[in-house]
């Protein structure tokens, strides 16, 4: 640690790195998120409260405890925070796995390390863990609502800037599936593209000619739009703000020639009705832009466990 503030390590333990890899999260990305978050919290200085009140060589155990029922997501990310924030090694006991249903009072993880490091990393770890677990919990509610219909719940790009990979991973933990991760890995022809190109078919053809290998989804407001998009060759059609009756008609007329995705006006209380129209996906931006956190606390106890 320097006078200007801490110098964070550039690597994680093999165990945490392996858990992140299994989750589909790049270690370099997680390290970047964690380091930037800790640097924001310290603002070029040190954790003045912990430095003043905690001896340099004190060691403690911290328990991450669920304060509400829900689905946990982000435990390896929280572990990465503590490993980065702590100068010495962190001994971790994993007591839950991402995607698990947890109950109020469950201990999810215990970490033994330098007390200062645990306290410095606490808020950053909880900010990420509570956020991700909240997304997983909300996604599970939607996935349960459509269970057995054949439809899946998908996220959107309405994510927190810089946290997309973490939030989309949390959706997977909750039983949802991911839409495209970026503007480059799939095309979505929306209303403004249609206006700019001069029509649905024209917009589709332009994308297909420019990027022949990229999957193309076309947004349609009417049943006729959906049919036109399919006849043009669209792989997937977004049924935007359609009444349920029109969705059923779209499913009948498309007749399996492309996948269909419902979007707009979706709520938990009508999710099953929409899914039962026969659409393949429900696109739910609320999974990432409106999920409340899952309350998780960090409780410190002195000495090793």
Per-residue pLDDT, 9:
63
Q: pLDDT digit string (tens) for 136-174?
A: 999 999 999 999 999 999 999 999 999 999 999 999 999
Give the confidence band of 305 by pLDDT, cuts at 50, 70, 90: very low
Domain count, the chain: 2
Q: Is residue 238 part of a domain?
A: yes
Is the pLDDT reported for residue 79 higher than 50?
A: yes
Cα distance between residue 51 and residue 5, in whole Å = 12
* Same domain? 125 vs 239: no
Instruction: Output the CA–CA distances (angstroms, integers) from residue 191 to 116, 194, 204, 219, 244, in the order listed.
Output: 53, 5, 12, 7, 20
Q: What is the pLDDT of residues 90-113, one digit of tens each?
A: 999 999 999 999 999 999 999 999
Structural domain span for residue 115: 14-143+292-302
Q: Is residue 254 part of a domain?
A: yes
Residues 151 and 275 in one domain: yes
Q: Is 3 exposed, middle or buried (0-12, 13-18, 19+ CB in 10 A)?
A: exposed
Q: Is residue 6, in this structure, part of any structural domain at all?
A: no
Catalytic residues, by residue number, are 123, 158, 190, 219, 240
pLDDT at 1 over 50: no
Is 160 in the same domain as 277?
yes
Answer yes or no: is 1 within a domain: no
pLDDT of residue 2: 41
CA distances from 198 to 9, 243, 280 (A): 53, 26, 28
With respect to residue 3, please indicate whether it lies within any of the assigned structural domains. no
């Amino acid at each position: 640690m320097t006078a200007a503030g801490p110098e964070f390590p550039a690597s994680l333990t093999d165990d945490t790195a392996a858990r992140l890899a299994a989750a589909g999260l790049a270690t370099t990305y997680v390290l970047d998120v964690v380091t930037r978050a800790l640097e924001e919290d310290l603002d070029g200085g040190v954790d003045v409260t912990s430095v003043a009140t905690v001896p340099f060589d004190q060691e403690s155990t911290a328990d991450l405890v669920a304060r509400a029922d829900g689905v946990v997501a982000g435990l390896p990310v929280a572990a990465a925070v503590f490993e980065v924030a702590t100068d010495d090694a962190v001994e971790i006991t994993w007591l839950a796995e991402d995607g698990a249903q947890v109950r109020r009072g469950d201990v999810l993880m215990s970490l033994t390390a330098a007390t200062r490091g645990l306290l410095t990393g606490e808020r950053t770890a909880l900010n990420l863990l509570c956020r991700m677990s909240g997304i997983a919990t909300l996604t599970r509610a939607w996935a349960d609502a459509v269970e057995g219909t054949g439809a899946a719940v998908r996220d959107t790009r309405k994510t927190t800037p810089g946290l997309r990979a973490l939030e989309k991973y949390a959706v997977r933990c909750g039983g949802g599936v991911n839409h495209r991760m970026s503007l480059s890995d799939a095309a979505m022809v929306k209303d403004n593209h249609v206006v700019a190109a001069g029509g649905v078919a024209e917009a589709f053809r332009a994308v297909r000619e420019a990027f022949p290998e990229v999957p193309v989804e076309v947004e349609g407001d009417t049943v006729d739009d959906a049919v036109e998009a399919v006849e043009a060759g669209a792989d997937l059609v977004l049924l935007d703000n359609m009444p349920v009756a029109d969705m059923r008609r779209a499913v009948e007329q498309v007749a399996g020639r492309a996948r269909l995705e419902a979007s707009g006006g979706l709520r938990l209380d009508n999710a099953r009705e929409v899914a039962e129209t026969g659409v393949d996906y429900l696109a739910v931006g609320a999974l990432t832009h409106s999920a409340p956190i899952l309350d998780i606390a960090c409780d410190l106890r002195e000495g090793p466990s």
